[in-house]
Structure 1
Amino acid sequence: MRFLVLKRSSLVFVFLIFLTAATATLWFYLNSDSVTAFNQEAKESKVREIHMVTGEFKSKTDDGKEIEAYRWDPGTIFVEKGEKVKLKIWGVNGAEHPFIIEGTDIKGTVKKGQETVVDLQLKDEGVYRLICLTHPDKDSNGPMIAYIVVD
């Protein structure tokens, strides 16, 4: 008889453990939108925004000649290989800056007072040059070149 009582209490104990595990599993399943504290992976790949502006430097030489140079700011940006990026370029100085990103089919124009958005996802490592076609070298108030470094 003692053996049956012991066996029954063991069965009740096993049943309670099973019920607790089932309840915990159900609770975690129903709260699956919760953020885990480890091994997090985004369900959708996020798009990183990088903001740039067009800038201009002006000065006078000792003989009074005015000189100027146009720049992208920042002049160098770093992105991961395959990373989705929105490059948002605000036109501050200069009427317009037609540009290309060397090594890609990407081209466009940044206009003063407007934002130009460029979607980037570069799959190969390397350095890509964002080149203003109006100011490609010092003879045209440049070089207006920014570097996109892909690791």
Structure 2
Amino acid sequence: MHFFVVKKSALYLVGVLALLAIIGSFWMNFNSDATPAISQQKETIREIHLVTGEFKSSKEDGKEIEAYRWDPGTIFVEKGEKVRLKILGVNGKEHPFIIEGTDIKGIVKKGEETVVPLQFDKEGTYRLICMIHTQAENSGPMIAYIVVD
């Protein structure tokens, strides 16, 4: 038969370590600062800048022609991505717009910036349409494409 002799000081040490482990476990579970790092990150919202632009020219007979455009004419976003579309009115007094396939509408005025929050749940191509410049007869079409992947 074998006997083990354990000193009293060793038992105290084991007891203190066990107590520290229990306290540490409770502290990690209940301390609000112990939340995962992912939940502490700030949500990022990507900003995309557009401007209203105008092209003018003259035909051979001297008649002036013009066309309005969104620049850039195509933007790409990810499905579910939060985007802040910032549209600066440079040319034209105002451009009332809709984003086809959504309830989004607004007005871009010359010299002002219009901010449009976007987040698409479905993939596809959405058209940003100026309601004044819809056809060539009224200096259009003023359409930009939002491609959602």
Per the alignment, do residues 65 and 110 of structure 1 end up closer, same or farther by CA in structure 2, a change over 3 Å counting?
A: same
Q: Which runs of 5+ in 1 are unaligned?
A: 5-30
Alpha-carbon RMSD: 3.3
The separation in 2 between residues aligned to 1:129 and 1:137, in whole angstroms, is 14
Query: Could you say which residue in structure 2 is the equivalent of 1:72?
Result: 70
Q: For residues 80 and 46 of structure 1, what CA distance do their matches in structure 2 show?
A: 13
**Counterparts in 2 of 1:72 and 1:42: CA distance versus 1, 3 Å:** farther
CA distance in 1, matches of 2:40, 2:127: 30
Q: Which residue of 2 aligns with 1:140?
A: 138
**Correspondence 1:1-150 to 2 at 5 A:** 43-150=41-148
2:113 alignment partner AA = E
By how many angstroms is 1:44 displaced?
A: 3.6
How many Å separate the matches in 2 of 1:42 and 1:81?
A: 23
Runs of 5+ consecutive residues of structure 2 not aligned to the other structure: 1-5, 7-32
Report the counterpart of residue 11 of structure 1 in structure 2.
Answer: none
Amino acid at match of 2:107: T
Structure 1 outlier segments of 4+, above 2 Å: 40-45
For 1:125-145, what per-residue CA distance to the aligned partner results, in whole angstroms no more than 9, with x for missing partners?
A: 000000000001111101100
Aligned-residue identity in percent: 71
Query: What is the CA distance between 1:41 and its match in structure 2?
Result: 7.8
Write the distance in 1 (CA, Å) between the matches of 2:133 and 2:39.
42
Residues 68-120 of structure 1 show CA distances to partners (whole Å, capped at 9, x for unaligned) of: 00000000000000111110000000000000000000000000000000010
Letter in 2 for 1:121: Q
- Which residue is equivalent to 1:28? none
2: CA distance, partners of 1:118 / 1:41? 26
Inter-partner Cα distance in structure 1 for 2:136 and 2:43: 40
1:54, CA displacement in angstroms? 0.2
